[in-house]
Structure 1
């Protein structure tokens, strides 16, 4: 008779489980999304995202210092302007809040961390869409590409090292890459939000950026029912010159993330979005879940599915936890 197989031998203690863990996270695999707002004198709390704020330039600098000290890999900046218009003029204005914040932080911290910027119009348009509208009120794909090209040059000149193309316009990667190269920004990298779904999980983010959205974004963001389409979008972006591809959101789209990771020859990132953050914080505040274990487990699942890097609002906190318990050490806790 064959010997009895006992997989439990490798689960018998915390040191043993840590030794044989298949998935490990390093602080450098985490990127911190940050909101920098115009016209405020002190950080302003985001009600639906407890613990997160709209930053002033000074408070943003202090947060970046904390991120660097914790070993976080980079920051992703979003601008919150006081004035908006139909074409999102503030996005390309060198004195617009996102470009000002990028320049301010890149000059101070560009040698110590990777300063990245969101390249999308939704924070800057009075209608809240990710592009300019045509006479019928629909998002005009090709006219929007011209605005993205101008945004890319403005952000690169401000010091952004990675541009996060999150608008989901067809052909955006190739158009922006061409514009960057023509302007001499050959070293500015492109992070393509390739598989970005029209999810209900973006709700808190809209509060965070004071969104003016009317309607929805279902004509350009992907249908949550479609899995193969996510991989197709990623492969198209890679062919157009993306340096990194993204799946967003993360937790409800781990199948798409795994598909993209298996096929991609460039780094694959995932965004643990505002709704994912808010649900954990709300459940933990009610005492329904163990908050720290849930954070660790959620991030582990995203990396286990294939993400090389995760954008998460818990980046600093989790990086500090990893440093305390040893890099990549799974959080210990009681079983079921």
Structure 2
């Protein structure tokens, strides 16, 4: 399977009553890209995905796949995992997956083969004849993932696909998404696990207050979003001298266990002056740029957008999960 179609989301606006949920959301997911869609609860991620799937209509804007509007035929070829899980609790796992595959256009033989392949791949083959309600929440999540993949989709739209998965299942699912991307399938998924998004995604879109506040390649966002910093490490004399030099140049200083952080461009004249002072005073073991994490990029992008949106969103620094209210 090789795909050459791009998912284009253009200028989506959506209001529920007087509450404006989406404010001109636009992004493209090209063939082979894995797009992480992140934002605090209530930012508009789920609403955006529902519009793509035709579950709700936008007040303004459009969605296309391969340059064409997404109709019922195209939707049948999409692998969609909704926020509200949609399994039948009293139906057997195998029968349910075959049923979903048939709904997406597969014949009975192909549906059975696809079901067998995915339950084995996702580690629930031993539960094939069990009713879904007898499964643990983690295994129900695996079956829900299989339901999104069983028909060999050409586009993946997954709302919190890693929620409730154990580490082994996360590894398996990550591998599956990377395999689909390698075949040219556009993949977009939402997640509150920013460290997972950072390790898996080639691109990320950050949603805040119904607007995209940052979008692009992860590495490009590292360079463009956030505060550039350098880390200086060495003996006490070098660190103290570097800190004094930074303060004299009107720079803030953050001490860390083995040195200090200074918010300056690594190749700036200020950075060179700090380094020269530190070297003259003692032994410098490290003077390197600090690469921001996705959590730091998220914080910076949201903080820069707050005067425009009036929305305050927070991230847990311990778990790197995005926190908030209703999605």
Q: Same fold (TM over 0.5)?
A: no
Greater per-residue helix proportion: 1
TM-score, reference length from structure 2? 0.28
Task: From the CA coordinates, give the structure whose radius of gyration is larger.
Answer: 2
Give the structure with the higher percent strand: 2
Higher relative contact order (CA 8 A, sep 6+): 2
